[in-house]
Amino acid sequence: MNDTTTSESQVSQPQAAPSSPAERPVLPDQLSTDVRSKHHVKAIFEHDIGIRFNDKERFDVEEYCISEGWIKVPVGKKVDRKGFPLTIKLKGKVEAFYK
């Protein structure tokens, strides 16, 4: 009877562990939230990422480029003729990080 109790206690249930930095893909120089873009990487969006623009965290970034120093953000509720949000490009210091 002790043998079965010991074996049951040794069997552990799989638990959802937080992602370690080793499992996360490296953030690219340019990334887009638009799935039609060639700069969209699905594996990165499985993790929670953040964008810091001019030392302030932004939550509305559609696309960024670290080396060129720009982000694209939507312009209010305006959309183009295909229904996609209009964006403007803002230039400054861009940092991407995992939360």
The count of domains in the chain is 1
Residue 31 has a pLDDT of 96
- Residue 41: give the domain boundaries: 26-98
| 6 found inside a domain | no
Region 33-60: mean pLDDT is 95
- What digits encode the pLDDT tens for the residues 11-38? 444 444 455 566 889 999 999 999 999 9
Residue at 65 is within a domain: yes
pLDDT score recorded for residue 22: 62
Residues 63 and 32: beta-carbon distance below 8 Å: yes
Residue 2 inside a domain? The answer is no
Residue 13 lies in a domain: no
Q: Is residue 7 part of a domain?
A: no
pLDDT digits (tens, 9 = 90+) for 60-97: 999 999 999 999 999 999 999 999 999 999 999 999 99
Q: Compute the distance between CA of residue 78 and CA of residue 54 in angstroms, rounded to an integer.
A: 25
**Residue 84 resides in a domain:** yes
Question: For residues 96 and 50, is the Cβ–Cβ distance under 8 A?
Answer: yes
Average pLDDT over residues 42-68: 95
- In a domain? residue 10: no
Sheet with 63-65: strands ordered across:
30-32, 63-65, 70-79, 85-91
